[in-house]
């Protein structure tokens, strides 16, 4: 039964959504010649973040952020770097987003360090998040941990319209949100994980979850979990000069790949196996958007019969930002693709999402849905 309590929660969530929707400017940096990136070292000041046996998350985040910023500043003359903090101070979540929005930034990078309970201290690896609805309890727990920083803010109940970071009920809000920058955010997150592997980091993948700091930014945004301070060997690495340098270099390389390919969009191609050979062809021209489900991305071609596709076939692919993106199913009917995603794809690929193309070029998903509704 939909109780009065749940109705009240839903009302507050919808109010929160409305406040966020109209509280920040639109995406873009069209009047600024320089590409602007905002680097956000998580936590700080009286908020230490996760605490290990020897160190604190806030310091690891800041060390990597400063090294990353210097790499960009020293090598990218056409890029402006802005930090949400450059010292050990506390900055509220909404102010971090405000810094990026007011600068009309092109990219927002939030840097964090993960932790789990001591009885799971063997867990290690890096993962990168984009804004979205959590698909697993583990993703939800990461979001709860990072969002709980708002409890330190004096006016958090008013500022975040009653959002409770520790209540699963509050995360219903993310079911109503369609992030217009999701494609670019996922592209960048995928590149980050790719380059982390180049430094022998365990790849825990790209995920989605409801992070308030990402929701309040109006540009492509990611939240990076560098590793697990709760793991003694990981903590030693994260506190070392080599560790922080490796991590900063990996993110920097991903940034170069992302920036170098923005705003270029590659032509869509499909791959079919014909007598053991791969044949590539252009997607047919159409006046209506074509919807597809993106299931995974890789830096190399994966054979059609690979177990990585979990039995889905046929699978198509296209190239973007130096990565090969794999999709399943395609149709001009958005509702049909949505049902395929829910019934067939989601049980196999929890972080799958719908994308759209028109005349062989990828287009904004919101624009595509709007066109579909107008035609329909």
Greater model confidence, 93 or 82: 82
Residue indicated by tokens 């489900």: 293
Tell me how far apart the alpha carbons of residues 149 and 170 are, in angstroms, rounded to a whole number. Answer: 15
Kindly provide the b/e burial profile for residues 219-247, where b requires at least 16 CB atoms within 10 angstroms of the residue's own CB. Answer: bbbbbbbbbbbbbeebbebbbeeebbbbb
Nearest C-alpha neighbor of 27 from the set 129, 131, 107, 109:
107
Q: What is the dotted CATH code of the domain comprising 4-260? A: 3.40.630.40
126-146: average pLDDT: 80
Q: Provide the pLDDT confidence category of residue 72 given band limits of 50, 70 and 90.
A: very high
Mean residue pLDDT of the chain comes to 81
Q: Is the pLDDT of residue 2 over 50?
A: no
Q: Provide the pLDDT confidence category of residue 288 given band limits of 50, 70 and 90.
A: confident
**Rg of the chain over CA atoms, in angstroms?**
21
Give a three-class secondary structure readout of the chain: CCCHHHHHHHHHHHHHHHHHHCCCCCCCCCCCCCEEEEEEECCECCECCCECCCCEHHHHHHHHHHHHHHHHHHHCCCEEEEECCCCCCCCCHHHHHHHHHHCCCCEEEEEEEECCCHHHCCCCCEEEEEECCCCCHHHHHHHHHHHHHHHHCCCHHHHCCCCCCCCHHHHHHHHCCCCCCHHHHHHHHHHHHHHHHCCCCCEEEEEEECCHHHHCCCCCEEEEEEEECCCHHHHHHHHCHHHHHHHHHHHHHHHHHHHHCCCCCCCEEEEEEECCEEEEEECCCCCCCEEEEEEEEECCCCCCCCHHHCCCCCEEEEEECCEEEEEEEEECCHHHHHHHHHHHHCCCCCCCEEEEEECCEEECHHHHHHHHHHHC
Q: Is the pLDDT of residue 282 over 60?
A: no
Residue 276 has a pLDDT of 39
Q: Provide the pLDDT confidence category of residue 287 given band limits of 50, 70 and 90.
A: low
Name the residue ranges covered by the structural domains of the chain.
4-260, 268-375
Q: Which of 176-185, 261-270, 303-312 has the highest mean pLDDT?
A: 303-312
Greater model confidence, 361 or 110: 110
Residue 118 has a pLDDT of 67
Task: State pLDDT tens for residues 334-376.
Answer: 999 999 999 999 999 988 999 998 877 888 888 889 888 887 6
Task: State pLDDT tens for residues 198-223.
Answer: 999 999 999 888 888 888 888 999 99
Question: pTM higher than 0.85, yes or no?
Answer: no
Q: Is the pLDDT of residue 23 over 70?
A: no
Tell me how far apart the alpha carbons of residues 136 and 147 are, in angstroms, rounded to a whole number. Answer: 17
294-299: average pLDDT: 89
Greater model confidence, 216 or 247: 247
């Amino acid at each position: 039964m939909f109780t009065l309590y749940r109705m009240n929660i839903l009302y507050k969530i919808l109010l929160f959504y409305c406040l966020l929707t109209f509280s920040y400017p639109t995406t873009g940096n069209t009047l600024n010649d320089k590409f602007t990136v905002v680097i956000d070292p998580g936590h700080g000041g009286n908020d230490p973040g996760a605490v290990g046996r020897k160190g604190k998350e806030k310091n690891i985040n800041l060390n990597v952020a400063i090294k990353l910023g210097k790499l960009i500043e020293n090598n990218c003359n056409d890029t402006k770097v802005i930090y949400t903090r450059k010292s050990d101070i506390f900055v509220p979540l909404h102010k971090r987003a405000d810094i990026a929005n007011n600068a009309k930034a092109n990219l927002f990078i939030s840097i964090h360090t993960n932790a789990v309970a001591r009885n799971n201290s063997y867990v290690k690896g890096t993962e990168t998040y984009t804004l979205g609805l959590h698909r697993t309890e583990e993703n939800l727990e990461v979001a709860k941990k990072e969002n709980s920083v708002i409890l330190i803010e004096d006016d958090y109940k008013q500022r975040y319209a009653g959002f409770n970071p520790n209540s699963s009920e509050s995360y219903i809000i993310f079911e109503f949100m369609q992030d217009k920058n999701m494609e670019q955010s996922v592209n960048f997150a995928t590149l980050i994980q790719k380059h982390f592997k180049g430094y022998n980091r365990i790849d825990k993948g790209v995920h989605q979850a409801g992070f308030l700091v990402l929701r309040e930014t109006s540009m492509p945004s990611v939240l990076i979990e560098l590793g697990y301070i709760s793991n003694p060997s990981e903590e030693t690495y994260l506190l070392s000069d080599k560790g922080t340098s490796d991590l900063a270099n990996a993110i920097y390389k991903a940034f170069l790949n992302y920036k170098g390919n923005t705003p270029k969009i590659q032509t869509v191609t499909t791959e079919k196996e014909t007598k053991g050979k791969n044949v590539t062809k252009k997607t047919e021209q159409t006046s209506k958007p074509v919807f597809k489900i993106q299931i995974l991305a890789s830096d190399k071609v994966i054979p059609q019969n690979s177990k990585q596709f979990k039995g889905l076939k046929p699978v198509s692919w296209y190239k973007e930002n130096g990565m090969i993106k794999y999709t399943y199913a395609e149709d001009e009917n958005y509702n049909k693709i949505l049902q395929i995603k829910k019934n067939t794809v989601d049980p196999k690929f929890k972080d799958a999402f719908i994308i759209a193309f028109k005349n062989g070029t990828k287009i904004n998903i919101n624009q595509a849905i709007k066109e579909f509704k107008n035609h329909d």
